[in-house]
Structure 1
Amino acid sequence: MSEENRWAWWQAALEGDIGPMHEGQPEQGYYRTRFKGGQWEPVALWFENGEWHAMRGERMVDPADTWNFCRTHPVSYEAYQKAIEGAGWDDEPPAPSIGHNLPSDPHEALKLEYESEKELAADLMKKEVKTEDQASQIAILSKRISVVTKKATDFHKVEKQPHLDAGRAVDDKWRYLKEDPADLSKQLKRHLDAYLIAKQREERERQEAARREEERLRREAEEAARKAAEADQQSEAERQAAIDRARQLEQEAAAKAKEAEAKNASAGRTGARVSLRTFPEPNITDYDALLTALKDRPEIREVVESLAKRAAKSGVSLPGMEIIEVQRAA
């Protein structure tokens, strides 16, 4: 490129015509560059007194090295001048206004950073997006705010990890004495199941025999009461004896009724007694009918929606659903 117009390469690049580029061989003009995840910084490259010069922000830097990083980002002189004066870039949101004297506590420092970004986000969202620069500002700010989340996650992990490690150590220490005795206790109870079920069967047989005896005694009591009522056919002594007999039989029947009351099969002593208990458990006889009955429950819908999203993400269409395309900023 001729020395008469050292600006030619940069001027063409501004129009979108990027010419040949060679590492370490600058082209005079205005550019911008940044460190990974950082803010754009203005760069000026010029040839003077037989040598190349470069300024990044307000500091002089190595021209060849700077060119290698800024050459694909030419900017107009007006944009460069605006950035040099501290007014930032039209397509980039301002840097967080938190100053340099940040708290030493990472949580408080990051909180200040986020509050500043949050305030800027609120301002940007008050305006309808109509230009590429506005869209770029919002996209960049979204990325910056997502970095806050990552930083918070990392700081949280670092701060919490010692507590997690200590908690796991305590869990490991006590796990055997918490879980193994509980399992063994359950095994012992299961070992009693057959015995208690047999004992329960004997108890039911005893109850049935007591009920039959109660019925027999009540019939005899009714017969004795009937005879006592036939006063004209017996002496006073006989009538009284019949009444006494009827009362005795009624008492015996009541005793048998009490004896017929259910007693749960059990083993052990007070405070350490194990007995049979009834636990309701489902026996699914019609899976499809059960699903139909449960389909409106929120937890079932949540599971179905989760499975449907997984299927859609995998490109698998299932009966009762269709895969649609939804566009959103990401």
Structure 2
Amino acid sequence: MAEQSIGTLVSKIVDRWSWWRAALKNPAAIGKTLPVHDGDAQQGYYRAKNKDKSFDPVAIFYPEGSDELVAYRSGREVRADEVWSFCCRYPVSFEAYTAATEGKGWPDDDATVAAQVKPPEPTAGDNSADVDEAETLKDQIDAALKGMDAYKTIGDDATAAKALSLRNRLNELSNQADKIRAKLKEPFLEGGKAVDAKFQPLVKSAKAGADTVRNSIGAWETIKLQEQRRREREVEQARIAAEEAARKREPDAEVMEAPAPTPAPVETAPAPIKATYGKAASVSVKVVVDEVTDWQALAIYMCGHPTLQTALRDLAQRAIDAGRTNIPGIKTKEIAAVR
């Protein structure tokens, strides 16, 4: 009977580690095939996330000869049922737990991130009010950017996890800098808004009036240009008619080009417009698209232009994102998109 009792006790003690071992082997099973209940802590080694995204090492175990769980978080004794909800989804190996308690960090830590999220040691005479937030952030961002060299090529999941930590830190620093920027800029924005509210209506109304006058002048100059082109066509038609008449009179003779009729003086280019007030305005002849008569022909003609190619590629991607699969003229491939 005594041997059976000892065997049962040993089996019970060993089984106390079973949940942690299974969770360590397959973290995705936590909360599914490995149930999690508040207040029902499981013996093992874990880590608990802090507000600053760092992790504290956690040990939960039954002391020798005791049936009551004890727990330690970063060396401080805590209630097992309270720390359990913070650490249950982060099981770690005993070796990783030991390294963390010795201040060596976690195996999946990025060195730059670990150094930056660790609370700085207080120094004598330190006055946080004298610290330039921009300079502090710049130093941290520069250090994080230098750490990118380690992840130019990623060849395993452990390195990918470290790279993700660095990415998260860079995003965090970006958000911090943007929040400070917005806060410091706000007083100037409010003052700028007040100035805009006072003067922008004046700017816009005067500019709209100037543009309306410009368009009227442009319409008149277009009428003049069209009249000029009409006269030029008449002169050309008269020249052609004179040549044709000469050929009919002497069909077998070598016909010299007939002299063109003396046309009325025409302007070769629109003359500048001089105002009695302010600067003169130049007038140039510009050819503009009036309408598109064949979209397909135009697209084929312009398809070599980089701007159109970029637009077409973007439209094709939008169609793919919407679920279209019958898009001609493209090849697709699958990639892993990290969000």
Q: How does the TM-score come out when normalised to structure 2?
A: 0.64
Deviation at 1:11, TM superposition (A): 4.1
Q: 1:167 to 1:299 in 2, by over 3 A?
A: farther
Alignment of structure 1 residues 38-53 onto 2, 5 Å: 38-47=53-62, 52-53=69-70
| Offset from partner CA, 1:193-251 (integer Å, 9 cap, x none) | 787788889999999xxxxxxxxxxxxxxxxxxxxxxxxxxxxxxxxxxxxxxxxxxxx
2: CA distance between counterparts of 1:322 and 1:7? 57
SS in 2 for 1:281: coil
Provide the alpha-carbon RMSD of the alignment.
4.2
Aligned pairs for 1:45-64 (under 5 A) are: 45-47=60-62, 52-64=69-81
Q: Structure 1 CA distance, aligned partners of 2:205 and 2:229?
A: 36
Q: In the TM superposition, what whole-angstrom CA distance separates every residue of 1:77-119 from its partner, at most 9, and x where no partner exists?
A: 2221111001112233244425616873332222222233334
**Given that residues 38 and 84 in structure 2 are in contact (C-alpha distance below 8 angstroms), is that contact kept between their aligned partners in structure 1?**
yes
The match for 1:311 is 319
Which residue of the partner structure matches residue 249 of structure 2?
none
Q: State the partner residue of 1:35.
A: 50
Deviations 1:237-288 (A, max 9, x none): xxxxxxxxxxxxxxxxxxxx9x946496999853367898644322344433
Pick from 247, 271, 282: which aligns with 2:277?
271
Aligned partner (choices 80, 104, 115) of residue 97 of structure 1: 115
2:334 is matched by which residue type in structure 1? E
Cross-structure match for 2:182: 157
Structure 2, unaligned runs of 5 or more: 1-7, 123-127, 233-261
Post-superposition shift, 1:153? 3.0
Counterpart residue number, 1:290: 298
Match of 2:238 in 1: none
Q: Distance in 2 between matches of 1:172 and 1:3?
A: 81
Identical-pair percentage: 26
Amino acid across the alignment from 1:312: I
State the one-letter code of the partner of 2:155: V
Task: Report the Cα distance in structure 1 between the residues aligned to 2:173 and 2:226, rounded to whole angstroms.
Answer: 68
Give the length in aligned residue pairs.
Answer: 279
Within the candidate set 127, 131, 138, 2:163 is matched to 138
For 2:170 and 2:214, how far apart are their aligned partners in 1? 57
* Whole-angstrom distance in 2 between the partners of 1:306 and 1:325: 17
> Secondary structure of 1:73's partner?
coil
CA distance in 2, matches of 1:202, 1:129: 73
Q: Which runs of 5+ in 1 are unaligned?
A: 208-256
Conserved? CA contact 1:6–1:28, under 8 Å: no
Give the greater-gyration-radius structure (CA).
1
Distance 1:56 1:277, change over 3 A: same
Alignment partners' CA distance in 2, 1:29 and 1:204: 93
